[in-house]
Amino acid sequence: MKSFLGYVEAMRVHKPYIAMLFVQCVYSGMALFSKAAISQKAMNPAIFVFYRQAFATVAMAPLAFLLERKKEVPLSFKFHSKVFLVSLIGVTLSLNLYYVAINHTSATFAAATTNTIPAITLLLALLFRYESICIRKVEGMAKLMGAIIGFSGALVFAFVKGPPMKFMNWYPQTNNITNSFRPYSTLEWIKGSFTMLSANLAWSFWLVLQASIVKEYPAKLRVTTLQCFFSLIQSALWALVMERNPQAWKLGWNLQLFSVAYCGVIVTGMTYWLQIWCVEKKGPVFTAMFTPLALIITAIFSALLWKESLHWGSVGGGILLVMGLYFVLWGKKREEEVAAKTKINDQQQRHDTKEAETILECITTHH
């Protein structure tokens, strides 16, 4: 019985870690399915984002109503405006910028620059005072070094290939699949690079701003649904501007429909809610630091499903990514332990002070 209770307690403590691992696995699936669907050139990326948000809204609305109907919290116009702005920046803008950037850069570059999100989020969290770093302490240095190592690992993973891993070289003729991109001009590459960094900046803003939203409104499923709904409206207007051909809006029973449903229901709906929950529990930097894992998982599944060979340079970059993640998580855990001890000491000090005052009052009264 004790072992079972210990297992339950361990699961409760490690729920944020398990949730973020699941989120990154889902994002890996999103990269695989989205790439397959959009590469067919039968769907405008703006329309893809619109249908993605539509599926998410339809899927999340019943869950929000059933699971949070007892949480009667009034929604003010000010709060609606804040959620609308957060949805515009962190969801609609980041997704559309991401798909525009892919048209001007390679998929490898897109996957690599996504891993700048932890460093950007850490910087924004410091600016908004949701996070703090004291470089004079071990935990502060660990967080700073972890962000630098993780960012370096992302660059190594993307740009330093090295020799292929022979034991994963099942089909040599497919080794060049990932390099079969059309040539890009210097202007295109610079434009795509800045666009992708803008998308990552918008997403980092979304992570940081969630901290204030969840404090103001505790019904996380309802907030997620509201953000999906606002993003649906915004994406519809943008898609109408980008594509006015009615034929381009048709969905068939194919991979595109599956990809849109997967990205809408699982990615936009479920993982957004999990990330908001993790932001509330652990903060935006903790949530962002798991981003590099999606790149590793995607590479592994690409090797298994598409028979692409892995390279030793990518393995080295993956090791650096994991090391950076470990340093940041260790630093945050150490900070939490120190904060907990400080809180206990303060409570004990207040208790001792109150007890001493009571004794002194009794002595004064007696005399």
- The pLDDT of residue 88 is 93
How is the chain split into domains, by residue range? 2-330
Residue, of 106 and 332, whose pLDDT is higher: 332
Three-state DSSP at 311 gives: strand
Average pLDDT taken over every residue of the chain: 75
pTM of the model: 0.68
**pLDDT confidence tier of residue 234, bands split at 50, 70 and 90:** very high
Region 12-18: mean pLDDT is 78
**What contacts 32, CB < 8 A, 6 or more positions away?**
298, 301, 302, 305
The radius of gyration of the chain from alpha carbons, rounded to an integer in Å, stands at 24
Amino acid at 11: M
Half-sphere exposure of 85 (CA within 13 A, CB side): 10
For 261-316, write each residue's pLDDT tens digit: 888 888 877 787 788 788 778 777 677 777 777 777 777 776 676 565 666 776 78
Give the single-character DSSP code of 310.
Answer: P
For 101-157, write each residue's pLDDT tens digit: 776 665 556 666 677 777 778 778 878 777 767 777 887 788 788 878 877 876 776
Alpha-carbon distance 290 to 18, whole Å? 11
- Among 159, 165, 147, which Cα is nearest to 105's? 159
Alpha-carbon distance 193 to 105, whole Å? 7
- The pLDDT of residue 159 is 66
Query: Is the per-residue pLDDT at 222 higher than 80?
Result: yes
- The pLDDT of residue 174 is 42
